[in-house]
Homo-oligomer: A and B are copies of this chain.
Amino acid sequence: MAKVFLPKGSRDLMPAMMNRRLMVIDTVREVFARYGFEPLETPAFERIETLTGKYGDEGEKLMFRILKRGAGGEAGEVDLALRYDLTVPLARVMAMNPGIPLPFKRSQIQPVWRAERPQKGRFREFYQCDVDTIGTDSPIADAECIAVVHDALTSLGLTDFTIRLNHRQILRALAEAIDAAEQETSMLQALDKLDKIGREGVEKEMIERGFSVEQVHRLWSYLDGAPIPGAAEPEAHLRQIFELALDLGVDPERVQIDRTLARGLDYYTGPVFETVLNGGYSGSISGGGRYDGLIGMFSGKGDVPAVGVSLGIERIFMLMEEMGLMPDTETTTQVWATVFSETTRSATLEAAAILRQAGIRVQVSAREGKLGKQFKDASTRGVPFALVCGPDEAAAGTVVLKNLSTGEQFTGTPEQVAIKLGA
């Protein structure tokens, strides 16, 4: 039989990794729920016409298209494609459920698929993790995006981060203030690289893009704090959101207004947020903002107020591994129940059942006899305790709990062992 392979750029999430990912996802989901963001799932695929024209030429090329079943498929006809992000499906849900009470606050944690060139830590199937509030322009909704990211990261033990805030209209005023209203996008594309290439690099790039040295210098003076004409209103708006975020419990050390922040400006219309880990970790772990123009794309009702934030959950998994924030166990199994012999097997299974009833995670050995081998099976898998029930214990109604690192033993009834294990 031929060898089998995974599809290019995909991976299996084996139990050791899945246990950690589920722990992170459960934590994040709980924080989302505390803010009233409730879970939504949409199908893996959408009709091709729902996705076409939404992600630009580049995105279109990366989409996984599904062949029509039955007649038509033979001719290469495509009627579906795999979800490319979670925002277009949300817009479709809003268009198809016009009666939904607003504001609609949803969380969505599901994979998306993009046929990007595979590289280290980048996959063609990866999870996105979004919260969005649709149908209100209340600044509380914007502040909650900041607070929910703050609480989620803190709950995960990622405490040394900075949430940067800016406002699309401040950036527009900035472009106008340097007489570059028509070159706003170009200015922002250059500015977006500030973290990576520094002021010198941005200056060089802007000049290549046709800005004058004088314009660049005016830009620096505004970024250094000179008042930007016409920016008073968005600045007050941003300041208000900042204050509301502090009311919501956000640590003022972990959030800052930053005029240089220039992210995803093609569809954001108001405040924008981005979170970076301090201490030399490049790239963001969360980003979002207000995007009042997108959600109405299918309903034809014009702008629908919308604000949301995305946690870079795959990046967070990786960073937590690197930083040692993930539990280092390979398994969540707590007890390896050894089987001494066929005659004590029933007593062992009954003890395992009592432990499980108490919430303890027990794997019963498939191997019988030689205990040394069974202890080794447990240790190989990282299971911390072994349970032994020999003829003496079976007769006495007890079992022995053995700590496989220290060798320490405890003898008692299964109920006592459960208590010993913290049940």
Binds B, one of A38-46, A180-188, A319-327, A396-404: A38-46
A217 CB-CB contact with B under 8 Å = no
Contact with B along A345-379 (1 / 0, CB 8 A): 11001101100110111111011100000000100
Give bound CA distance, A99 to B363, whole Å: 20
Secondary structure at the A interface, as helix, strand, loop or mixed, is mixed
Closest Cβ neighbor of A1 among chain B residues: B300
| Residues in B whose Cβ lies below 8 Å from that of A111 | 44
B64 touching A7, Cβ below 8 Å: no
Give complex CA distance A37, B63 in Å. 35
Given known contacts A33-B332, A333-B38, A69 and B64 CB-to-CB distance under 8 angstroms: yes
Contact check, B248 vs A352: say whether CB atoms are below 8 A apart.
Answer: yes
Q: Does the CB pair B5–A47 fall under 8 Å? A: yes
Supposing A34-B356, A66-B64, A249-B357 touch, asked if A7 and B366 sit within 8 A by C-beta, the answer is no
Within 11-47 of A, Cβ neighbours of B (below 8 Å) are at: 11-15, 18-19, 22, 29, 33-36, 38-47
Determine the residue in chain B with the shortest Cβ distance to A79: B7
A40 CB to closest chain B CB, in angstroms?
Answer: 6
- Indicate if A395 sits at the interface (CB-CB under 8 A): no
For the complex formed by this chain, how many copies does it contain in all? 2
A92 within 8 Å of B (CB atoms): yes
Least CB separation from A332: chain B residue: B33
Q: Pick from B7, B39, B366: contact of A141, CB below 8 A.
A: B366
Highest count of chain B CB atoms <10 Å: which of A73, A78, A362: A73
Contact of A36 among B18, B34, B361 (CB under 8 A): B361
> Which one of A100-108, A157-165, A230-238 is at the B interface?
A100-108
- On chain B, the residues within 8 Å of A143 by CB distance are 349
Q: Is the CB of B35 within 8 A of A380?
A: no
- Contact at A43–B244, with CB atoms within 8 Å? no
Separation in Å of the A390 CB from the closest CB of chain B? 17
* Sample of 16 further A-B pairs with CB below 8 A, known A4-B50, A18-B38, A67-B67: A3-B298, A5-B50, A7-B46, A10-B45, A12-B42, A18-B39, A44-B44, A64-B66, A64-B80, A66-B82, A67-B76, A103-B366, A244-B345, A247-B349, A248-B353, A249-B350
